[in-house]
């Protein structure tokens, strides 16, 4: 499967899941609440990084682009429309990163929908239903793949910021992107490159940030799979409290 096919397949899977949310409103509401709790949890887990001058922008990028409940339908549609162009006009490394991001998005949506089906949340802080859904769905291998993909995408974006001329290329794309109705995707690309370029300026800064993400997410994921339900609920309540 080439780059364009992989991107279109991932976006099509996300759209299929969105259609389920539209046709079954209770699932749609539950998915929204799963995402809301996860965003609040992320804000709590990384409250120190969000408040940090060095890592604040990177943490906010992860929160807003990878963990938020924001509707990304517009960006996904644009992503699908230029799938062929990504492979044709961008360096191979950029195209591969774009493919990895699309696949990560589809995997995340699949896991969120699975939890929403088995244990609908009553609100955005319903940790009892969240923990029940996590343990019922399982899919530990996919959860691990999701975490690995998040860190790998961050590492690739960091590496790409060090390629000469790439930021200039993005700036040159602004007008053509706006004319083609691709402003949402353009904003995402520029935001990502600027964010990782900022933390990559300090030697080892990006690597330290991504290792903190991996360590904290791995610890929480292992706990949700291995620890007793009550312990998991207590820990999530504590983390959500840190986000307030």
Mean per-residue pLDDT, 177-188: 65
* Cβ contact 95:89 at 8 Å: no
Task: Give the total number of structural domains in the chain.
Answer: 1
* Cβ contact 160:97 at 8 Å: yes
Q: Which of 184, 153, 5 is nearest to 84 (CA)?
A: 5
Choice among 18-22, 48-52, 86-90 with the minimum mean pLDDT? 86-90
Higher per-residue confidence, 235 vs 166: 235
**pLDDT tens for residues 43-58?**
999 999 999 988 998 8
What value, to the nearest 5°, has the Cα angle with vertex 107 and ends 76 and 15? 40
For residue 237, pLDDT beyond 90: yes
Q: 160: which 2 tokens? A: 């790409």
pTM of the model: 0.85
Question: Distance (Å, rounded) from C-alpha 205 to C-alpha 56?
Answer: 12
Q: What count of Cα atoms within 13 Å lies in the side-chain half-sphere of residue 207?
A: 4
DSSP 18-86: HHHHHHSHHHHHHHHHHHHHHHHHHHHHTHHHHT-TTTHHHHHHHHHHHS-----HHHHHHHHHTHHHH
Mean per-residue pLDDT, 169-192: 67
For residue 192, pLDDT beyond 80: no
Confidence of residue 64 (pLDDT cuts 50, 70, 90): confident
Which domain range does residue 86 map to?
Answer: 3-242
Question: Distance (Å, rounded) from C-alpha 59 to C-alpha 50?
Answer: 6
């Amino acid at each position: 499967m080439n780059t364009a096919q992989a991107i279109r397949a991932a976006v099509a899977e996300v759209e299929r899941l969105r259609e389920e949310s539209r046709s079954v409103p209770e699932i749609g509401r539950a998915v929204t609440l799963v995402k809301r709790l996860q965003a609040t949890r992320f804000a709590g887990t990384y409250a120190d990084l969000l408040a940090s001058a060095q890592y604040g922008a990177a943490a906010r990028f992860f929160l807003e682009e990878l963990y938020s409940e924001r509707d990304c339908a517009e960006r996904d549609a644009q992503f699908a429309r230029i799938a062929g162009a990504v492979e044709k006009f961008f360096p191979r490394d950029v195209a591969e990163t774009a493919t990895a991001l699309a696949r990560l998005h589809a995997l995340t949506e699949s896991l969120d929908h699975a939890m929403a089906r088995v244990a609908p949340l009553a609100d955005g802080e319903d940790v009892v239903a969240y923990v029940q859904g996590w343990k019922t769905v399982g899919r530990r291998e996919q959860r691990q793949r999701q975490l690995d993909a998040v860190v790998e995408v961050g590492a690739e974006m960091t590496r790409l910021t060090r390629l000469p001329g790439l930021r200039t290329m993005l700036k040159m794309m602004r007008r053509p992107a706006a004319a083609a109705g691709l402003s949402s995707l353009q904003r995402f690309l520029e935001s990502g490159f600027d964010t990782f370029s900022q933390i990559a300026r300090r030697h080892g800064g990006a690597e330290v940030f991504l290792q903190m993400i991996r360590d904290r997410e791995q610890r929480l994921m292992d706990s949700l799979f291995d620890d007793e339900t009550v312990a998991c609920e207590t820990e999530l309540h504590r983390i959500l409290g840190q986000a307030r």
